[in-house]
Structure 1
């Protein structure tokens, strides 16, 4: 889907500049497509900047990263791309640093965790554009029927799942370790066990003792006891798990803000709590960010920087976040949202953001490691699977990719 919001190439005079932006679509229908968001924003910007035209192309998340990769390979890089990763382009020297585009004050307004995740060797190449965190969603009706309270520890989560299973709940805990987004579900669980993909010095530690313990617990105490539903985790994708929750068939699962709208539309009464950990609520939620990048190929650093200042104004950051149930990436917009009654539903996710941990998106190796996790991690908790063996294989994959 392409939205041409301005002329192609130069138009009107030699001093006019056309900036090309490729953006991802966050909408779930034509009615709320990101095309409408950018149309409104660009119209307002161009009205105040007669010498600059903005040409925006909007693609689905299925296509956008591939499309940008193809454009870059063909020597036709856009001026800006709002996509899912940045490290590979930065590593090849193709991107402007944020220092070349926006001021120190504007960079300092990025939420600390998100800004840090967009840096390589201290330089900001990926500018966070949209963010979310994860919480444990639970079905209030199913919990009330079983006389349960939301779990705070793994032991309590397993006990609640046992009770839900006894009540005939189809998915006491939905564990989506299928290829769609297994790397995210896995990371949230690894964090809850005190581990993660990266160790304390910033290198891969996928086969750490903490991670092995976590995956063994999942295999033995949840999957092995039939508490994760009829679909094997390695065959269950996030979208299917979300749909099952909205249908009232799931007692608990990890979710991000968009699940609120999906569940509410189906009349499901739900609550949200921090992910249970081995001994108490997990201190670090998983955070996710998408990135704005600026390619050097066409120049125009001054015009790109001015446009990005407008994109990252508090008004526009809030408008985008509210439209798509996402978290603001700037401190100014986050402060406003935290105090606004209209945004109360998002506050639990906002509260989790300052202590969230993001995947190692600053590593050029992460794309291949993430793909390997999606492909293999589900087998670790299967009846004949070995968490130790799978995590060791993934660690070797990560080391080789480095």
Structure 2
């Protein structure tokens, strides 16, 4: 990625195209209606994703009068199950924008990227995201939007606790967990209800866990994408959380296993939390409540640099016989103006080089804050979403990881059980 304003460079994935273009036997453009299923990123009717897709479809149809586009938008609670139901009934949509693709790719139900996209579109994806969309080295998952994570901290609470000067001119820039622990102790001594929020409840425990594992030098998978859930680094990370943070009373009155991400965000926005890991949606929420906050990269176990966490949602095209038409729509979807129209509305990150350049060129306070997250993307590690077993592993993390960090918890056993389940769930 060539980020114009920062000078950061991210190499693009090299691609070989083998299947672009029309396929014999397909219906002509004049006979096709593409069925698209998408997730709703809004949390109320006023900011629903439906208008975006309606306008996108209308604009596409003007340029391709022979192809109609029917888009059905469902809540995140329902969309994955809806697509699974359609596929099971033999009525798969042409295109789905949902949370995971690997199951469908493993079953041979999806077109690969090089069977759909133009050279320009395929080469435009940011390399870490394109790589995360691969199964057996072929890309089936097309990244839709992305986000990274930074640590947010309440500037007033930090100043009152003597961690940063009250003039607000010197930001908090910790490198190590020792510095993080010291700050949490000062916040507790100053009477802050929750010095550090540790949301390991069901809502997004897999994300919070991955952030800490990466910062501890581990992760769910190694550099070859083999599971490494029960590695020594991961065990040590959970022991740090158990003994130095939770056991020391630095994570607040709600035990981590029962604290959900949004509840933690709400508490931060009420001024009750000193620091927590957050994604871009916290920007507006905290600002709306008048909370002055700072952001810093996640400190690490040894103070050295480790990858940060990235998250992407996915687009996939099912083998419905509309390969050419689906490819045309996807090329249109990934045009820079269409990408940025969506990411700007929901404070998310573009998944393409052209979209990243557009965000870099944008001005304003909101854009400046989003660029901080954007600059973390080149070094990001994503969930091992290319593994068919990941959905089951993620669910198991949500159910059990919180017990490992409670007083008396057993990190070795919890991670060992997770690793064994993952090995059994992953096809050979």
User: Does residue 1:384 correspond to 2:399, yes or no?
Assistant: no
- Indicate whether 1:44 and 2:69 are aligned: no
Partner of residue 365 from structure 1, selected from 372, 389, 406: 389
Q: Indicate conservation of the 8 Å contact 1:216/1:381, yes or no.
A: yes
Alignment map for 1:2-401 (pairs within 5 Å)? 15-149=30-164, 150=172, 151-280=174-303, 282-296=305-319, 298-342=320-364, 343-401=367-425
Kindly state the Cα deviation for residue 356 of structure 1 after the two structures are TM-superposed. 0.1
- Report the RMSD for the aligned CA atoms in angstroms: 1.2
| Alpha-carbon distance between aligned partners in 1 of 2:127 and 2:156, rounded to the nearest angstrom | 37
Counting matched residue pairs gives 389
The C-alpha deviation readout for 1:128-182, integer Å capped at 9, x for no partner, is 0010000001011111111214232101111111111111111100000111111
Unaligned runs of 5+ in 1: 1-12
The 1-side partners of 2:128 and 2:80 are apart by 23
Query: Could you state the TM-score of these two structures normalised by the residue count of structure 1?
Result: 0.95
Gap change, CA 1:281 and 1:250, over 3 Å in 2: farther
**What is the SS of the residue equivalent to 1:286?**
strand
Q: Distance in 2 between matches of 1:202 and 1:46?
A: 40
Distance in 1 (alpha carbons) for counterparts of 2:417 and 2:31: 54
Whole-angstrom distance in 1 between the partners of 2:315 and 2:370: 23
C-alpha distance in 2 between matches for 1:270 and 1:127: 34
Which segments of 5 or more consecutive residues in structure 2 lack a partner in the other structure? 1-27, 165-171
CA contact (8 A) 1:78 1:295 kept: yes
Q: 1:237 to 1:125 in 2, by over 3 A?
A: same
**Does the 8 Å contact 1:275/1:282 carry over to 2?**
no
1:274, 1:282 within 8 Å by CA — same for their partners in 2? no
* Cα pair distance change 1:317/1:177, threshold 3 Å: same
Give the TM-score taking structure 2 as reference length. 0.89
Q: Mean alpha-carbon deviation: is it higher for 151-160 or for 212-221?
A: 151-160
Cα distance in 2, alignment partners of residues 21 and 201 from structure 1: 34
Secondary structure at 2:76 match in 1: coil
Tell me by how many angstroms 1:335 deviates: 1.6
User: How far apart, in 2, do the equivalents of 1:383 and 1:330 lie?
Assistant: 44
Pairwise CA distance, 1:283 = 2.8
Output one character per residue of 1:259-279: Cα deviation in whole Å (capped at 9) or x when no partner.
111111111111111000012
Aligned-pair CA distance for 1:282:
4.4
User: How far 1:200 sits from its partner (Å)?
Assistant: 3.1
